Structures are given as structure tokens and as C-alpha cells.
Amino acid sequence: MSIIQARIDRVNKLKNTIKNHPATMRSAKRSTERECKWRDNEPMKIRAYKIRLYPNAEQEQSLSQYFGAARFVWNVGLEMMSRAWSEREDRLTYVDVSKQFTALKRTPEFDWLKAISSDVIIQKLRDLDRAYSNFFAKRAKYPRFRNRHRKQSIRFQFDRRNTGKVAGWVKGEIVLPKLGVVKWRDGSDLPKTMPKMITVSRDPDGRYFASFAVEYEPARLAGTKALGIDVGIASLATCSNGTRIENPRHLDELDARLRFHQRRLSFCQKGSKRYEKRRKRVAKLHAKIRDSRQDSLQKATTRIIRESQAGVIAVENLNIKGMGKNHRLARSIHDASMSEFLRILEYKADWAGIEWVKVDRWYPSSKTCSGCGHKVDEMDLSVREWTCPKCGTSHNRDLNAAINIAREGVRILAGSQDSGQSPESAWIPGTGPGQFDRLGKGTEARIVLIGEFQLVKRFALRECE
Ligand SMILES: [Zn+2]
């Protein structure tokens, strides 16, 4: 007992020393300041764009020159770094390597590097530097050499001082250094803010894309309802309001075709002309699967956000790491769809200002009756419809689970608001057994209450300035 007490005392003493240390106090102050500011002027969000580009023949040629140069810079830089490390354990940085490149440019042999926009070289060296540090920080594998068969990418700095680019952007044009105006897919508008950086890439399929990110003010689409979502195998997702997102059906067919072509590829001599042809075919199919999946997921998630009037979205915390290890391709595609679906939905909820809650995956969402709260002991995965033995309500398995997830999400939120109430009593009376009608009035009231609580919290933070 006394040992434990001594230990507690020691820890407390240590805590106090740290707390009262001038450095800690300074940083604590800074962090509250930042917090206040962050709360006060609603945070800006980052939104990423990826737009298809259609360069003309001349631009395509220049771009392929740029890609070649970028590959050269990456590979030579990596070589320099690797050699310095293996020979004398010297870790080169961006500055070291870029110095060597400046020297290299002066030699007549590498004169051609001068024709490349220096932006491209600088950005590529920065990328390499980051990849290298990520490896040393154990965040990533050792950087690989690049070849011309994989995805190619280069980055351009978008400088506000360059009036041509700015004027072009205002007109809805993408102007790239030394390339001029590049045609892009119409249909959506460019964001008003000009990005600071644009990445131009070419996939193995020969398609060009521009990707960039800009800050923007989030639109307030959030409503007041709680929406629970059950992701599963029978349908991709079932929402507690009855919306159902089916699995993309055409994937099975594409999957079969992909397997056929992959098999054909495996019979070819690597590096032969035929191999190259078939490799392209496989890459094309991969791209098609990826695109059609992405397309349907984008549409489905937008629909959910627009139509649900949700203020809170609750989902199950899936064991994503355990998934995807499945050998059957169709299965692994499905798993990837599920996590991709949740990823997209999460950032769209964030844009709309909708709260996002994860429910523990051990929470018995399927086995609990959403009508009376009765929990059955066993439920086989094959059971799609069931009737509660206690209250006699008949349930669709997924819908019932989604309703429970919504409920659990609200409970978690209510409990985390530090309202002094236990999570159970945070429920509004009237939602007890028999009175619970899907997501009844009680749920909405609770959310409104949480909303008010947030207002109170925000108010308090503003006062601390
Ligand atoms: Zn029941």
C-alpha cells in the first residue's frame, strides 16, 4: 500500500514540476490561444481536387520530357543518398543533393536539364527528401527507383506573382509554366481560390490528371437528425433512415475479365512486345474498376449527406486492418469499397459540418432489438430477417443494426459532452420500451440539445481571450 502511495506521490510531484516549468506553461498558453482562435473563426478546411487534363500533342511531348527529367532527378538523387549512406553513413538532405544538381547542370553532358522548369526539379528533390526522411522515421519503406511504366508525376509551384497564371485561373484556365493553357475536362468549376501547388500526373494508361488542394469555407449542410450506417456484405451500406446503398454490380463482370487478362499476361515473356501490350490491357482494366467504383461511391455518399438531414452520423468502427487480406479478388475489392465508402463519407460529413461518431465494433448492433432493447444470444450471419422474441417487432437485420448504431452513436456523443449525466440517463424520457419509433422525436431532441451544448462551449472559449 505504502509503495503504491509513494509511487502516486512521485508521479504527482513530477506532474507538478512539468506543469510549472516555464517551457510547459508557455506552450500551454499558446495552445489555448490557438484553440480560441480556431473555434472563433470557423476553421478553414482543405479540399482536394483531381481533374482530367487533355494536353495537345506538343504539350504531351514536353510533359513526357518533364516526366523523364523528374525520373532522372529522383533516381540520381536517390543513388547519391543511398551511396552516401552505405559508404560513410552520411545522411544527405535536400540541400546537399540540390547543390550537387546545380553542379551537374553546369556540365555540358547534363546541359539538357536547363531546359526543364526548375520548379519540377526542386519539387522532385523535395519529394525525395520527404520519402527519405519517412524511411528514417520508420513511416515508410525505402524509396524505390522510378521507371517509365508506372504512374508519373511532377509538381508545379503556383505562384501568385505570376499574373498569367492568376488571370488564367480566374477565367477557368489551367496555365502551366512553359506549357501554356492546358485543356481540362469541363463539367465542374475550378475553385475560386488558386492552389499553391499543382501536381500533374500520367497513369499507366496514358491519361493525364491535375491534382491540387485548396482551402475553403465548409458549407453548413448539417441537419439535426442522427443517422446510423451499417456497412456489410449483402449491401454495401444500410442507413437507419432506410436508404440502402447496393454493391456496385458491374464489378463482378469486370473482375472476371481482369482475372482472365492477368492470367494471359502471366504466360508472356516479361519485356516482350506482347507482354507490354497485355500489361497495358490489365492496367486499363484496373483503372476502369477503380474509376467505376470511385464514381458510384462518390454519388452514393453525396446523396446520403444531401438527403439525410443528419447532424450526426454514426458508423461501426471496422477492423479495416484485418480486412483486405482475403485472397479472393472480388472479396478484397468489396472490402476496399467499404473502407473507401467510409473514408469518403467521413470527409464529406466534415465538409458539411456533420459530427462523425465511431461505435465500437463489439457493440452488438445486429443482435439487439431496436424496438425494446432486448438482446438475443446468437444470430447467424445468414439471418436477414428476424422477429424479436420479447416485443414481437419484425426486423430487417441491416436496418435494425443501423438504427442501433445511430442510437449508440448518440449515446456516445451525449456521454462525452460531460453533462454530468450517465450515458443511460442522458436519454430523453419517452424513448423507452415500446415507445421507440425508429429514430423518434427523442433522438432529434437530444441532438438539438447537444447542439446547444456546443454553442455554450464555443461561447465559453470566446470568453477566454
Ligand atoms: Zn424487441
**H or E stretch at 176:** strand 174-176
> Could you tell me the distance, in angstroms and rounded to a whole number, from the CA of residue 240 to the centre of ligand 1?
17
Residues 253, 241: Cα–Cα separation, whole Å:
31
What pLDDT does residue 55 have? Answer: 92
What pLDDT does residue 422 have? Answer: 34
- Catalytic residue of the set 127, 255, 316, 335: 316
**270 close to 434: Cβ distance less than 8 angstroms:** no
> Could you tell me the distance, in angstroms and rounded to a whole number, from the CA of residue 237 to the centre of ligand 1?
23
- Catalytic residue of the set 255, 398, 408, 444: 398
Outline where 312-427 has alpha helix (H).
329-352, 397-416
pTM of the model: 0.52
> Could you tell me the distance, in angstroms and rounded to a whole number, from the CA of residue 356 to the centre of ligand 1?
27
Residues 21, 2: Cα–Cα separation, whole Å:
28
What pLDDT does residue 31 have? Answer: 37
> Could you tell me the distance, in angstroms and rounded to a whole number, from the CA of residue 408 to the centre of ligand 1?
16
> Could you tell me the distance, in angstroms and rounded to a whole number, from the CA of residue 387 to the centre of ligand 1?
8
- Catalytic residue of the set 119, 129, 230, 355: 230
Residues 211, 461: Cα–Cα separation, whole Å:
37
Radius of gyration from C-alpha coordinates of the chain: 28
- 268 Rama class: left (phi>0) / alpha (psi -120 to 50) / beta: beta
> Is 398 annotated in the active site?
yes
* Positive or negative torsion for Cα 396, 402, 407, 411: positive
> Is 316 annotated in the active site?
yes
Q: What pLDDT tens digit does each residue of the chain (465 aa) get? A: 456 666 666 656 655 555 555 444 444 434 333 333 333 344 556 777 888 899 999 999 989 989 998 998 888 888 888 888 888 888 888 888 888 888 888 888 887 888 787 888 888 898 888 888 888 887 778 888 888 888 888 988 876 666 667 777 777 888 887 888 888 876 566 777 788 888 899 988 888 988 888 776 655 666 777 889 998 877 889 998 888 888 776 667 777 888 888 888 888 888 888 888 888 888 888 888 888 888 888 888 988 988 888 888 999 877 554 554 555 555 666 667 888 899 899 988 888 878 888 888 788 888 898 888 888 888 887 888 999 898 888 899 999 999 889 888 887 776 644 333 333 333 333 333 222 233 333 333 333 333 333 322 222 222 222
> Could you tell me the distance, in angstroms and rounded to a whole number, from the CA of residue 369 to the centre of ligand 1?
5
CA distances from 12 to 1, 5, 28, 29 (A): 17, 10, 18, 21
> Could you tell me the distance, in angstroms and rounded to a whole number, from the CA of residue 147 to the centre of ligand 1?
61
> Could you tell me the distance, in angstroms and rounded to a whole number, from the CA of residue 433 to the centre of ligand 1?
8
> Is 465 annotated in the active site?
no
